[in-house]
Structure 1
Amino acid sequence: MIFETIHVKNLFSYRKAKFDLTGFSPERNIALISGRNGYGKTSLINCVKLLFVGANEDMLAGVLSGRKLNRKQYILGAKSDEWLGIMNRRARQAGEKDCEIRIMWRDSNDSLIEARRAWRIDITDFKETLEVLGAGSKVLHDDDAREYLEGLLPQDYLPFFFFDGEQIQRLAESNRKRLLEQIERLLNISPIDTLCNYLDRCVREWRKDAMVEEEKSRLVELEGERNALSARFEALEEKQLYILSEIEKLEHRIQEEEHQLDRHRAANQEYDKKALTKEWERLTAELERAQSRVAEDLPATVPLLANPILVKKAIAELRKLVENDTSQQAGALKEILGDLSTDLFDKPPYSTPKLMDSQVRFYKHRLEKLLGAHIPPSEDLGGGLLRMELPQARTLLSVLDHFAQADRERKYQAQTLRGISGWRRDIEEIEIKLDDVSNLSEEEQEDFRQRKATNEERKKQVGANEKEIEHIDEKRAEIKRQLQEKEKEIGKQEKRVTIGARTRDKVERAEQMRHFFHAYKDQLKQHKRGAIETAINAHFEALITGHGLIRHIRVAEDFGIHFEDSEGQPVAMASLSAGMKQLMATALLWALKEVSGKEVPLVIDTPLARIDRAHQENLLRRYYPKVGQQVIVLPTDSELDAEKYALIAPHVYREYRLDNPRGDDTQVLEENHVPDK
């Protein structure tokens, strides 16, 4: 699929707009559509989503903080002024009633296809129509058109092809059920589950029909308990999805506010912002590397390194114990007692006749009492503070001797920690300089401070929401365990019934088929998993520069993502920076697109987001020119300066700039930077 034209009429920030996307080539595959925040980039990507899937669950949940709209509210607008609907505000004021999105593309057979979704909107209701022209030389309407588009681009595919670069780091850190299910659908694995579930239902119905009433009643009771657990599980899942949408909205608002703060900062010309930003990025990278080293290297015995005086006092007490004659005598007697009992009764040659087990136990106990009477009690083993067995004292003494002499290791760890403190101070100083707005008016300074404080509160709320998600994950894991137990009970109950020969034959055949398809699914997943793991590691290596924390990315059987260091040890997700997570998610999307074989245009909003400059250059050189046949990139004006534009320019075949100073009439201006072919 290659987009040729996109027409928008009266949707979101657009009154009337056309994007001509013809003219791509393997060497020039990027269409660049840039603009400031609020100028129409997100509106465009939402228009594309609306064409293919209409107002789906993600769009309904992504508008207002704290609640999800229904489809009618999304189209027409909420009662309050928080959301005015999809109709362009200026068109609504002019009394217009029609809006639409229309896209024309070439399919895999080079046939021209045009899809159009339109709305006629009144004050209290709307009518939506969908049609596809050119699909099999006929026009498809509404349900037929929806079925065609769903087969071409199912809504579960959308997060992998149309996405915001600022939000994709969630893919790397989620490993959530919904995402993993979407990956299975993208890889054409989930239809096997549908088939297996159908066979399961058939088997259960056949068994239930053959049951006696008492057994059937118990089965219904168990199924009711399972359904109650499932309802709790789904409620937690819904809550988690809601919190995740809140996090995404907060992070989007944080980013928007940061742009506003940047405009305040830009007004201060007393420092070189570019140089300070580069230095901040360098120090932050150094700090991350140092913190990773400390997390990996700092031993669990750090209290022993940090308290040399206490260690020396403990050594002195241990020496009193070890060098005490009485304690040495007690230790020797205990060793003799242990060895003598074993050598005398448990090793050949044995007595004739051989002692019975009860006799052996009797004589061992007698021997221990006789020799034990000569072992001094612990209170007679010296006047020190410590009371322990001599072998334990000797072992502990050798360990503490090492730490008493570990000055070199102590100095190294102290130096590393001082370095971390120094980098933090330097970063704080740079942040203070970057936030210096002293040359602005008092009113503007106050606005800056309030915005910054509000944004910090949003960041804290994101952290609190992430903790809540962890708590929900724990609850879901427990309910999942209970569900598995309940399923086992149901299975046992189903098998208690004696079924007739005809029913038994159907059940056995269905179970054989189910086992076959499960085995086939496992083999298919293993093959896809290996291909994704190979691809994601290759792509991550191409995108990452100067960072050795992650040496391998492992893809689990369920397609969950796990990180490993050079020694094969797991790397915690929390130790990765936001930029690192975004690069990880980018590599994952690249690998999934490659392995799935789906050729759909990529539409990417805010493509460089929070990534540092060196890795931005990697994306511009190695990712966007190679990730697909057609890539539509929607950067902000601040993301793509002259240097970065020069990196991507050789691969750009169309370029547009969005202008929308009033906020409700995006103008599409074609740029002339792209040379004629």
Structure 2
Amino acid sequence: MIIKKLILNNFRVFQGRHEITLMTNSHENKPIILFGGLNGSGKTSILLAVRLALYGKMAFKPLARQQEYVEWLSSMIYSNPTHTDNSTQASIELVFTYNQAGVESEFNIIRNWQSGSQDTLRLSRNGQPLTELSYEQSQGFLNGLIPSGVADLFFFDGEKIADLAEDETGLILPIAIRRLLGLDLIDKLHHDLIVFLKRHNVDNMDKQYQQQLTILEQEKHSDLTMAQQWCDEAALIKRDIDQLTIKINKQEHVLSTQGGAFALTKTQESEKAENLLREKESLEKMLRQEIDGLFPLALAPKILTQLLQQLTQESQVKQTLSFKKELDLFLAQLKVNTAQHPSSKQQMVYQAIEKQLIDYLNNKSSLTEILFDVSDTELGRYQHMITIESIKAQSRFQQTKARLSEVEVALENASLNIQRAPDEEQLLTIFAAIRELERSRQQQIELYKQRLEQARQALASAKHRALQMQKIHDHARTHFSLNNAVTYAQKLLPLLEQYSLALTTSRIKLLEKNFIAAYTRLNRKQHQYLSAKIDSKTFNIELTNQHGQLIHRHSLSAGEKQIYAIAILEALGKTSGRQLPIIIDTPLGRLDSEHRNKLINYYFPIVSHQVIILSTDTEIDQHDFRHDLHRYIAHSYQIVFDQQQHASHIKNGYL
């Protein structure tokens, strides 16, 4: 992925329209785009704009309800406290390229909103608007393209680095690694297969087994519900209500990523597809009727024009012959009259007239051979059919054909949307988790250790119930033949466990390798023989020196902890295999000069093909810019805040 352009319009401190070019120069090894500005000038707005364009509600601030999101968007519109006629709308446009299966496409995202209203989202690919996608479907498409969980490894600020460096709970890193390895998807597939097998077997069990399973399922559900309730109450001691809100938004993101937006419109798309099929049949019937009618006459205009000319000439010849017949009778009578009253002049005039008329008529009647001999009435009907009715039939045919093409395209889009929608059964677990978190947020907080013990007991009871249910299923399975799908599902369960273990082992080895490479490079001479071990269950990282002695993370200095956190983020990003830009906001604020120089020289120039740095003058000063980073910079910008206008603008050049 390469971000080509970012356009801000009345966003936060940026008044009016600001277009920022972010293309790098890979041929000259210049991957860095550097922004400089004082605190409060709008550096964080650049990072926030990219995340907001991509993820909307999931961008940054955890918001539980849609109304809070609308209020937050309203607060993002530029406002000058000294003016009363401020703008009431804002927008963000992001242009980037993305490579999928070796095919590179250019995407354009435009997200705009008005004060007090929901935002709108327009998405285009290679200049073609994806109008078949609704707002939720477009957001789900973006979430699938660049999952926010993976983007957290690439778009971050100094505070997130600090949180990872200071985390003593052991919760942040395991979540990131499980999401990175895709273990959460494997767990979901494992759960779905078990649900499928249980449903299949229950349908074939007798009432005794079904009754036992129903009771056990209810008891297990009760145990799990209580365990989740107690765990949430224990977590509330260390986490306030915003942390629970974060969990809700994460579940909503999972729902969106797995196709929740498409599932909501699946019924509508199915009805739409049925209507389109009926219209298609009607249009095809109309085309067949036109083909059976006068439309084929429009396919041979030259031949039919010649035919009309022939018929017209034949009509003229027949008129001439009729006239000649009458004229012959007249001349015969004239000749009789002339013979009764002979006169030399009269004879000469008669003979001259007779000769000229006969020559004229003979020449005219011989011009065209009579082939069809149609009447004047039939000739008129043929002329009307060829010159008028066939043209109308051709127009109707083309219009019907064009509409048929539109219907076929719409039918294809509706079919794609139906295919993208997952089964409702797959989303029930997510909906249940969201409801449980919302209920837990309203419950009273109880003692931490007591609730954990109660949760442990409830989980043990639920596990016991599940084992009893599994025994019943195993016993019932021996009495019924299983179809191929069930057989494959049964074989797949142990394979999933083996695959999960193998994937975890191989990727952790790669993660350890990438972490040591990054940490050693950034720490340089310190801990040259450092090694790392990542626990495959807890994903905790243990550092040891060349003597095999454990290096406790809490013994590291603040700067070393931040180097440690940056090395983790770099290792996670490389292990993910995603080619995404790095966007870092105030990365050096807590570092001393030694550690800052290490990042400037051994991290920024090589960490990615595109590195966007948002820095203050105390983090990257003129010396760093001119002597260390200048040869790696594709673009440098200065963000300047105007005190009189209460707005920032961007100009070329660093500080």
Aligned to 2:218: 220
Query: Which 10-residue stretch deviates more, 603-612 or 496-505?
Result: 496-505
Instruction: State the alpha-carbon separation in 2 of the partners of residues 480 and 3 from structure 1.
Output: 47
* Structure 1 match to 2:281: none
1:653 deviates by 0.9
* Residue in 1 that maps onto 2:75: 85
The SS at the match of 1:530 is helix
Structure 2 CA distance for aligned equivalents of residues 477 and 594 of structure 1: 39
Q: Residue type matched to 1:87 in 2?
A: I
> Which of 502, 506, 512 does residue 527 from structure 1 map onto?
506
Q: 1:485 to 1:245 in 2, by over 3 A?
A: closer
User: Any residues of structure 2 matched to 1:459-470 within 5 Å, and which?
Assistant: none
Report the Cα distance in structure 1 between the residues aligned to 2:156 and 2:449, rounded to whole angstroms. 25
Whole-Å separation in 2 of the counterparts to 1:181 and 1:101? 30
Q: How far apart are the structure 1 equivalents of 2:172 and 2:191?
A: 18
Aligned with residue 641 of structure 2, among 660, 664, 677: 660
CA 1:107/1:214 → structure 2, altered by over 3 Å: closer, same or farther?
Answer: closer
- Out of 512, 518, 522, the residue aligned to residue 539 of structure 1 is 518
In 1, Cα distance between equivalents of 2:242 and 2:567: 22
**Contact 1:51/1:116 (CA < 8 Å) preserved in 2?**
yes
**How far is the alpha carbon of 1:195 from its aligned partner?**
1.1
Within the candidate set 108, 112, 133, 2:124 is matched to: 133
Structure 1 residue 112 corresponds to structure 2 residue 113: no
Offset at 1:237? 4.4
CA–CA distance in 1 between the matches of 2:213 and 2:151? 46
Aligned mates of 1:215, 1:106 — CA distance in 2: 52
What is the Cα deviation at residue 221 of structure 1? 1.4
- Residue 74 of structure 2 contacts residue 114 of structure 2 at CA under 8 Å; is this kept in 1? no
Task: Mark the CA change 1:579 to 1:178 in structure 2 (over 3 Å): closer, same or farther.
Answer: closer
Are residues 53 and 665 of structure 1, via their aligned partners in 2, closer, same or farther at CA, if it must alter by over 3 Å?
A: same
Query: What is the aligned partner in structure 2 of residue 601 from structure 1?
Result: 581
Q: Secondary structure at the match of 2:230?
A: helix
- Measure the CA separation in 2 of the matches of 1:550 and 1:234: 42
Deviations 1:397-418 (A, max 9, x none): xxxxxxxxxxxxxxxxxxxxxx
| Match runs of 1:554-593 below 5 Å | 554-558=533-537, 559-593=539-573
1:160 aligned onto 2:153: yes
* Secondary structure class of the residue paired with 1:38: coil
- 2:467 corresponds to: 491
Residue-by-residue CA offset, 1:147-205 (whole Å, 9 max, x unaligned): 32112211112321111124313324357446423333334443222211211222344
How far the C-alpha of 1:52 sits from its partner, in A, is: 0.8
1:100 maps onto 2:91 in alignment: yes
Q: Who is 2:608 aligned against? A: 628
Shift of 1:212: 3.8
Confirm or deny: 8 A CA contact 1:33 1:633 kept in the other structure. Answer: yes
Letter in 2 for 1:492: Q
Q: Secondary structure at the match of 1:516?
A: helix
Where 2:121 maps in the other structure, the secondary structure is: strand
**1:610 counterpart residue number:** 590
Q: What SS does the corresponding residue of 1:126 show, helix, strand or coil?
A: coil
Instruction: State the match for 1:336 in structure 2.
Output: none
State the AA in 1 paired with 2:631: P
Maintained 8 Å contact 1:657/1:669: yes
Please tell me the residue identity of whatever aligns with 1:24. N
Query: Structure 1 residue 46 and structure 2 residue 27: aligned?
Result: no
Is the 2:636–2:654 Cα contact (8 Å) retained in structure 1?
Answer: yes
- Say whether the 8 Å CA contact 1:656–1:669 is kept in structure 2: yes
Q: Quote the Cα distance in structure 2 between the aligned partners of 1:474 and 1:529.
A: 35
Instruction: Report the secondary structure of 2:33's partner residue.
Output: strand
- Is this contact kept in 2: 1:240–1:472, CA < 8 A? no
Q: Structure 1's 489 and 127: CA in aligned 2 closer, same or farther, altered over 3 A?
A: closer
Deviation readout 1:26-69 (Å, 9 max, x if unpaired): 5110000111111101122111111111122x7334xxxxxx66
**In 2, Cα distance between equivalents of 1:75 and 1:32:** 32
Aligned to 2:178: 184
Q: Is the 8 A contact 2:78 2:87 kept in 1?
A: no
**Pairs within 5 Å for 1:438-477:** none
Q: 1:51 to 1:480 in 2, by over 3 A?
A: farther
Query: Retained in 1: the 8 A contact 2:558–2:590?
Result: yes
Moved more, 601-610 or 147-156: 147-156
Give 1:214-293 correspondences, 5 Å limit: 214-237=212-235, 240=238, 242=240
Residues 98 and 118, structure 1, Cα contact 8 Å, conserved in 2: yes
How large is the Cα RMSD of the aligned pairs? 3.3
Q: Distance in 2 between matches of 1:159 and 1:188?
A: 15
- Answer yes or no: is 1:76 the counterpart of 2:49: no
Q: Which amino acid aligns with 2:93?
A: R
- Between the two proteins, what is the percent identity of the paired residues? 23
Deviation digits for residues 425-467 of structure 1 (CA, Å, limit 9, x no counterpart): xxxxxxxxxxxxxxxxxxxxxxxxxxxxxxxxxxxxxxxxxxx
Contact preservation (8 Å) 2:233, 2:451: no
Unaligned runs of 5+ in 1: 62-67, 78-82, 249-470
1:625 shift after superposition: 0.6
Shift of the 73–144 alpha-carbon distance from structure 1 to 2, 3 Å rule, reads: closer
Change beyond 3 A, Cα 1:149–1:474: farther
Do the aligned residues in 1 keep the contact of 2:226 with 2:455 (CA within 8 Å)? Answer: no
TM-score scaled by length of structure 1: 0.58
**AA aligned opposite 1:20:** T
Equivalent position of 2:628 in the other structure: 647
* Amino acid of the structure 1 residue aligned with 2:164: L
Shift of 1:627: 0.6
By how many angstroms is 1:138 displaced? 4.1
* 1:102 Cα deviation after fit: 0.5
Matched with 2:192 is 198
Q: Cα distance 1:562–1:241, how it changes in 2: closer, same or farther (>3 A)? A: farther
1:615 Cα deviation after fit = 1.5
Q: Is the CA contact (8 Å cut-off) linking 1:156 and 1:182 kept in structure 2? A: yes
Provide the rounded CA distance (Å) in 2 between the counterparts of 1:583 and 1:472. Answer: 34
Partner of 1:512: 491
Structure 1 match to 2:26: 25
Instruction: State the one-letter code of the partner of 1:568.
Output: G
CA distance in 2, matches of 1:191, 1:617: 40
Whether the 8 Å contact between 2:518 and 2:567 is mirrored in structure 1 is yes
8 Å CA contact 2:95, 2:109 repeated in 1? yes
Corresponding residue of 1:9? 9
Query: Is the alpha carbon distance of 1:485 and 1:93 closer, same or farther for their aligned partners in structure 2, counting shifts above 3 Å?
Result: farther
Deviation at 1:656, TM superposition (A): 0.6
Q: Distance in 2 between matches of 1:476 and 1:636?
A: 45
Alignment gaps of 5+ in structure 2: 247-446
Matches within 5 A, 1:324-363: none
CA contact under 8 A between 1:18 and 1:668: conserved in structure 2? no
Residue of structure 2 in register with 1:59 after alignment: 60
User: How far apart in 1 are the matches of 2:516 and 2:220?
Assistant: 46
Deviation at 1:612, TM superposition (A): 1.7
Alignment-derived partner of residue 531 in structure 2: 552
Cα distance between partner residues in 2 of 1:151 and 1:508: 31
